[in-house]
Amino acid sequence: MFEEELDDSSVLDVLDKQIVHGLVTDARIPFARLGAILGVSEQTIARRYRSLIGRGIIHVAGQVNTVPLGQPRWIMRITSEPAKAVALAESLARVPELSWVALLTTGFEVMCVGRTRSMDRRDQLLLRMIPRATPVLGLSVYEVMRQFPFTEEWPRYGRLLTPAQLEELGPRPPMWDPAGPEAPVALSREDEAMLAILARDGRAPYAQLAAATGWSATRVARRMSELIGSGVLYFDLDFALELMGYTSRALLWMQVSPAHLEAVGMALAQYPETAYLAAITGPANLTASVVCRDNAHLYRFVTERLGALPGINNIEVSPALRIFKQSQSLIDARKIAVAP
């Protein structure tokens, strides 16, 4: 039943979804190679990609994982004055270190994820800037202890490719080690210039990156591989969910018995509705972002999927009333606008 619900119609046809899967697997895959795998021309892939970008359906971005830089990720739940909640969410969406900014269905609670590069910047946001904002009535902060990996990233369109195509495409690079390297990775000025461009366009050509860094294209490619290998750099896709046919996105806050936490997390990571999953500090020790066709689908997910898992003692379901920012992209009128 669940897989059928996720197969419902959207603005994407089968080829669009195959292209999306290729980009999810390898965000910088050459269009000529992806076309050869899918049995279409390079020009067709390029035209479809430009259409997906132009319609505000996807955005490919290079992301900085702060764990190898010595800084964990954290999740905030901010209680706001009801009349000023939208303005607060819009303001937070413009902060570069904050992502996944959403107004929850309470109407006056804003959730976001933080990933600062330094303790000073973290303290500035958590201890001064956000608490002192006029609309803020309360603030809860939870640190991410473990982000659970997926065998296939959302939206899980791999089923639309043949086994031969999947083998030729290859697996998605392994997820970074949550523990990080033995010593924090140091970033140079050139690294920062490259990362800034990749944040706006994850498929920026090597020539553009070389011009910004003063390096050769070969050195840029080598350094990019080093940063990916260290876990500092990874590539991600943002999606305009409603344009893809999904009208219900919810945040789940679960209290799970410690002995069952790993097993519940690994089980949830296999469900196609699960887009993000992490063990966190605080009264709820497991949080998930799930994407469903509608509220009826969400209800079945909670009662049938989660209800069958032993060890979950309590679940708080917080549907997103409106999403202002995803991992990197701002959302405007339900489509991806521009990267901040």
- CATH code, domain carrying 273: 3.30.70.920
Supply 161's token pair. 């490719």
Q: Looking at the predicted structure, is the pLDDT value of residue 4 above 70? A: no
**pLDDT tens figures, 41-99:** 999 999 999 999 999 999 999 999 988 888 889 999 999 999 999 999 999 999 999 99
The predicted pLDDT at position 145 comes to: 94
215 within domain boundaries: no
Q: Name residues whose C-beta falls within 8 Å of residue 73's C-beta, 6 or more positions apart in sequence.
A: 66, 67, 113, 114, 115, 143, 144, 147
* The CA-based dihedral angle spanning residues 89, 146, 282, 67, taken in that order and rounded to the nearest 10 degrees: -60
- Residue 323 is predicted with a pLDDT of 93
Banded pLDDT at 113 (limits 50, 70, 90): very high
Q: Give a yes or no: residue 118 inside a domain.
A: no
Please report which confidence band the pLDDT of residue 221 belongs to, taking 50, 70 and 90 as the band edges: very high
In a domain, 34, yes or no: no
pLDDT at 10: 64
Query: What was the pLDDT predicted at 229?
Result: 87
**In contact, 339 and 325? CB cutoff 8 Å:** no
In a domain, 265, yes or no: yes
Q: What is the pLDDT of residue 176?
A: 54
pLDDT at residue number 181: 58
pLDDT given at position 7: 53
For 66, residues 6+ apart whose C-beta sits below 8 A from its C-beta are 72, 73, 115, 116, 117
Residue 230: predicted pLDDT:
87
Domain assignment present for residue 302? The answer is yes
Q: For residue 194, is it within any domain?
A: no
Question: What are the pLDDT digits (tens) for 124-164?
Answer: 999 999 999 989 999 999 999 999 999 899 999 999 999 99
260: domain range?
Answer: 246-320
Determine, yes or no, domain membership for 199: no
Number of domains observed in the structure of the chain? 1
pLDDT score recorded for residue 339: 52
Tell me what percent of the residues of the chain surpass a pLDDT of 70.
93
What is the pTM (predicted TM-score) of this model? 0.89
Do 285 and 235 contact (CB within 8 A), yes or no? Answer: no
Report how far apart, in Å, the C-alpha atoms of 338 and of each of 1, 164, 321 are: 36, 36, 21
Determine the Cα–Cα distance for residues 224 and 203; give it in Å rounded to an integer: 12
301 contact partners, CB below 8 Å, separation of at least 6: 2, 271, 273, 290, 292
Residue 102 in any domain: the answer is no
Q: Is 246 left (phi over 0), alpha (psi -120 to 50) or beta?
A: beta
